[in-house]
Chain A
Amino acid sequence: MNALLPESIPEALDMLARDPAAVPMAGGTDLLVHWPVRIEAHDRTYLDLSRLEDLKPLTWKADELVLGALTTYWDVIRDERVGREFPLLVQAARQVGAIQIQARGTWAGNVVNASPAADGVPALMAYDATVVLESRRGREEVPLDRFYSGYKEMRRRADQLVVAIRIPRRTYSFQIFEKVGSRRAQAIAKVGLAVTHSDAGWRVVAASVAPTIRRCPAVERLLETGARAGVSSSEDLSPAIAQDVAPIDDIRSSARYRNRAMARVLYHDLKDFWRPRA
């Protein structure tokens, strides 16, 4: 194994340009799992981001919150303002492992690990986050809901480093984060959902029910329609859910369970919007 140890962002970008196969490493909470037996992973070159101080801060601006590429789950949990303005980020962060993982795992790492079962990504996507990429060739910004193109495939060139995640500050009239798992702690989602409503409209984001974390445009359209959509039971959501997601059977759950759990959580949590009280 080879480790590249840059001391600055420009140095890191130079190293990536020269060696695009290098794997950027932040907290290592995904890359080092079962490390001793994953011999093939030892042959790769890793780009250590841990000394790039400029990537650490979480920054509040007038119209956005910017998470640095090294901002951890714990940084977000400990920032009381995040809890007030973006409560789903805190709820998601508290579902990621426990302190040992929260103190090391980063939001940017969750984005580029590209797991369909990620906890952080659905909350970011429900807040219309944008991924900021940098390379020697310049800066690029990609909306997170267009970042993934397939299972573990994303719009990041090998010479690009995720340097930040930008989240617009808006007033939300509704927001929920739900994770259906085997246990409350230390479990990976069977179904995950993040739902928000603001002046920009509804955002319904689902996890563990498709090859990528993804928005659910058919369900979002139903919510825009509101009571006129005629949803009066969780079964009424099934056609829209079938358009939006394609769950599979795997070690954690079955496609059937995932479809039903998603429909029931969406119906239950959004009851006031499907059937407004007179």
Chain B
Amino acid sequence: MSSQSAIPNPQSAISVTFTLNGSSVTVEIDPADRLLDTLRYRLGLTGTKEGCGEGECGACTVYLDGVPVNSCLIPTYQVRDRKVETIESLDPRALEAFERCGATQCGACTPGVVMTAWWIRGHPDLLRTHTIRELMAGNLCRCTGYDGIVDSIKEALGER
């Protein structure tokens, strides 16, 4: 399900300022705009993808204050004064383990998968209580069968 951002109604437009990939941005939005649409259609950051639009597939994963969230389920006004990071902010090395392990095929899920995977890499303490598969359960991939994804995260963790 894809959607275009509504044209802001001047009566109800909200000015929202937040930190996006390390820089402060201010954008006039309609209250109905989801963060996903603001990122893609207002700010031109199309690395974040829309898959299911219901918080199931994780293709739209971004970091909000450092934690992976579904940008399709967040009204843009809720990120005012907060910190948002998208796939565009990641170190390109985030993809190397993916390439080596065959963790990507069609690519539709890849930006979201890489976001969650890179978060796990940055928080290895999570693996005391969680398996990689449980932490990755919010990112659906219909191509790889997940083994390549899990292998690549193990490899990325080993590189630290």
The interface residues of chain B lying within 8 Å CB-to-CB of A185 are 134, 137-138
Inter-chain CA distance A28–B33, complex, in Å, is 13
In chain B between 40 and 92, which residues have their CB closer than 8 angstroms to a CB of chain A?
53-56, 58, 61, 64, 67-70, 72-75, 77-78
Verify if B140 is at the interface (C-beta below 8 Å from A).
yes
In chain A between 212 and 262, which residues have their CB closer than 8 angstroms to a CB of chain B?
none
In chain A between 2 and 57, which residues have their CB closer than 8 angstroms to a CB of chain B?
2-3, 5, 25, 27-29, 32-37, 42, 46, 48, 50
- Asked if A1 and B138 sit within 8 Å, CB to CB, the answer is no
- Asked if B30 and A1 sit within 8 Å, CB to CB, the answer is yes
- Asked if B53 and A103 sit within 8 Å, CB to CB, the answer is no
- Asked if A100 and B70 sit within 8 Å, CB to CB, the answer is yes
- Asked if A1 and B54 sit within 8 Å, CB to CB, the answer is no
- Asked if A186 and B56 sit within 8 Å, CB to CB, the answer is yes
Smallest Cβ distance from A136 to chain B, in angstroms?
24
The interface residues of chain A lying within 8 Å CB-to-CB of B58 are 98, 100
Interface size on B, residues (CB 8 A): 35
Please name the residue on chain A nearest to B50 by beta carbon: A36
Cβ 8 A contact of A32, one of B72, B129, B138: B72
Verify if B31 is at the interface (C-beta below 8 Å from A).
yes
Question: With A29-B73, A99-B68, A186-B56 given, is the CB distance from A50 to B78 under 8 Å?
Answer: yes
- Asked if B137 and A186 sit within 8 Å, CB to CB, the answer is yes
Verify if A104 is at the interface (C-beta below 8 Å from B).
yes
Verify if A94 is at the interface (C-beta below 8 Å from B).
yes
Inter-chain CA distance A143–B58, complex, in Å, is 35
Interface size on A, residues (CB 8 A): 31
Question: With A32-B34, A50-B78 given, is the CB distance from A99 to B67 under 8 Å?
Answer: yes
Verify if B32 is at the interface (C-beta below 8 Å from A).
yes
Verify if B7 is at the interface (C-beta below 8 Å from A).
no
- Asked if A99 and B56 sit within 8 Å, CB to CB, the answer is no
Inter-chain CA distance A186–B67, complex, in Å, is 19
The interface residues of chain A lying within 8 Å CB-to-CB of B75 are 3, 25, 28, 32, 46, 48
Cβ 8 A contact of A186, one of B1, B72, B116, B140: B140
Please name the residue on chain B nearest to A72 by beta carbon: B67
- Asked if B116 and A1 sit within 8 Å, CB to CB, the answer is no
Verify if B23 is at the interface (C-beta below 8 Å from A).
no
Verify if A181 is at the interface (C-beta below 8 Å from B).
no
Question: With A35-B53, A35-B72 given, is the CB distance from A100 to B61 under 8 Å?
Answer: yes
The interface residues of chain B lying within 8 Å CB-to-CB of A104 are 69-70, 73-74
The interface residues of chain A lying within 8 Å CB-to-CB of B134 are 94, 98, 185
Inter-chain CA distance A185–B57, complex, in Å, is 12
Smallest Cβ distance from B7 to chain A, in angstroms?
13
Inter-chain CA distance A25–B34, complex, in Å, is 14
Scoring B14, B69, B73 by chain A CB atoms within 10 A of each residue's CB, the highest score goes to B73
Verify if A74 is at the interface (C-beta below 8 Å from B).
yes
Please name the residue on chain A nearest to B67 by beta carbon: A103
Question: With A32-B74, A74-B67, A99-B68 given, is the CB distance from A42 to B1 under 8 Å?
Answer: no
Question: With A28-B78, A99-B138, A100-B138 given, is the CB distance from A35 to B34 under 8 Å?
Answer: yes
Which 3 A/B pairs are nearest by Cβ-Cβ distance? Answer: A98-B138, A36-B3, A185-B137
Q: Which residues of B contact A (CB under 8 A)?
A: 1, 3, 12, 14, 30-32, 34, 53-56, 58, 61, 64, 67-70, 72-75, 77-78, 116, 119, 129, 134-140
Q: Which residues of A contact B (CB under 8 A)?
A: 1-3, 5, 25, 27-29, 32-37, 42, 46, 48, 50, 74, 77, 94, 97-101, 103-104, 184-186
Pairs across A and B, CB under 8 Å, 14 listed: A5-B14, A28-B74, A29-B55, A32-B55, A33-B53, A33-B54, A36-B53, A37-B3, A97-B56, A97-B138, A98-B139, A101-B138, A103-B67, A103-B69
